[in-house]
C-alpha cells in the first residue's frame, strides 16, 4: 500500500463530526482529502478550509463543503504533508509552494497532524532546500539578504518562468544543507524586508503520522 495514503488515512481518523477541518496541499494531503470526502459520503458532517487554490479545487470536485475564512474563528484540525521532519518534529514545508497559507492554517488549528512517508524523516533539517516566499518587488535585493544567511538561494521556476504562489509572490529555495538552529533561522529570515514567510514549521505539529512501505504506521508526538 502507498505509505503516503496509509499515513493520511490514519490521520483522518482524528476528524470528528462538527469539526472545521484545514485541508493541506501536496500528494500526501491529497489522500487525506480523498478520505475525508469518503467519510462525508458515509455521513460525516464537517466544514473545511483549504490551504491552496489546488486543494480548494480538489475539495470542490469531491463535494467537501468549504467555508470562507471570514465565516470561521478557529480551525479544529488541519492535516498536511511535509518535506522534512526532524527528531524534534520541526518541519520544512513548501515544496508545493503553499507554505504561507499552510502556516496560517496550522497556526490557527487546535490540532495539526502532519502526514508523511518514511523518506521525510531526518535527524536534522536542511537537506531539502528551504522554501521562502518573497514579494516580487526588488526581489534581487531580498535574495542577496537571504544569501548572507549562508545559503544558496534559487528562484523556483516552472517551464522557464518564475513560479508564482497563490498570493502572487515568488518562492526562493534556499539550500542550507544543514540547519543547526531552526528557531533562530526562522526569525532571521522573517526579519528580512521582502520576505513574506519561510517554510520552517517549528514546534507546531500535534503529531506526525509516518507511513511505511509495508503498510504500517508510526505516530510521533
Return the active site residues.
Answer: 102
Q: How far is the CB of 29 from ligand 5RP (least distance, A)?
A: 6
Q: How far is the CB of 98 from ligand 5RP (least distance, A)?
A: 4
Q: Which of 118, 147, 121 is nearest to 134 (CA)?
A: 147
Q: Which stretch binds ligand 5RP (CB under 6 A): 12-20, 22-30, 64-72, 164-172?
A: 22-30
| Gap between the Cα atoms of 50 and 78, Å rounded | 9
N-to-C CA span, the chain: 24
At residue 103's C-alpha, the angle toward residues 142 and 51, to 5°, is: 110
Q: Is 197 in the site for ligand 5RP (CB under 6 A)?
A: no
The three grid cell numbers given for residue 219, joined into one nine-digit string: 505516530
Q: Is 99 in the site for ligand 5RP (CB under 6 A)?
A: yes
Q: How far is the CB of 79 from ligand 5RP (least distance, A)?
A: 10
Q: Is 211 in the site for ligand 5RP (CB under 6 A)?
A: no
- Residue number, 71 or 130, with CB nearest to ligand 5RP: 130
Instruction: Count how many residues are written for the chain.
Output: 221
DSSP characters for 98-114?
-HHHHHHHHHTEEEEEE
Q: Is 58 in the site for ligand 5RP (CB under 6 A)?
A: no
Q: Is 19 in the site for ligand 5RP (CB under 6 A)?
A: no
The three grid cell numbers given for residue 190, joined into one nine-digit string: 522573517
- Residue number, 150 or 213, with CB nearest to ligand 5RP: 213
What element of type H or E holds 117? strand 109-117
Residues that bind ligand 5RP (CB under 6 A): 24-29, 80-83, 93-99, 102
Amino acid at each position: 500500500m502507498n505509505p503516503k495514503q496509509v499515513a493520511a488515512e490514519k490521520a483522518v481518523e482524528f476528524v470528528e463530526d462538527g469539526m472545521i477541518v484545514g485541508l493541506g496541499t501536496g500528494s500526501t494531503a491529497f489522500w487525506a482529502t480523498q478520505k475525508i470526502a469518503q467519510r462525508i459520503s458515509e455521513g460525516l458532517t464537517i466544514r473545511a478550509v483549504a490551504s491552496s487554490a489546488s486543494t480548494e479545487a480538489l475539495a470542490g470536485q469531491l463535494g467537501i463543503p468549504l467555508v470562507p475564512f471570514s465565516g470561521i474563528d478557529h480551525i479544529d484540525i488541519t492535516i498536511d504533508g511535509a518535506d522534512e521532519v526532524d527528531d524534534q518534529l520541526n518541519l520544512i514545508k513548501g515544496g508545493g509552494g503553499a507554505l504561507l497559507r499552510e502556516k496560517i492554517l496550522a497556526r490557527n488549528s487546535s490540532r495539526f497532524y502532519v502526514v508523511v512517508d518514511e523518506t521525510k524523516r531526518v535527524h536534522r533539517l536542511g537537506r531539502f532546500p528551504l522554501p521562502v516566499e518573497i514579494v516580487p518587488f526588488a526581489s534581487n535585493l531580498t535574495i542577496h539578504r537571504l544569501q548572507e544567511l549562508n545559503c544558496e538561494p534559487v528562484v523556483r521556476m516552472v517551464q522557464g518562468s518564475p513560479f508564482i504562489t497563490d498570493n502572487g509572490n515568488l518562492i526562493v529555495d534556499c539550500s542550507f544543507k544543514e540547519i543547526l538552529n531552526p528557531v533562530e533561522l526562522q526569525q532571521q529570515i522573517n526579519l528580512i524586508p521582502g520576505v513574506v514567510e519561510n517554510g520552517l514549521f517549528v514546534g507546531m505539529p500535534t503529531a506526525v503520522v509516518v507511513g511505511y512501505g509495508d503498510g504500517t504506521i508510526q505516530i510521533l508526538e
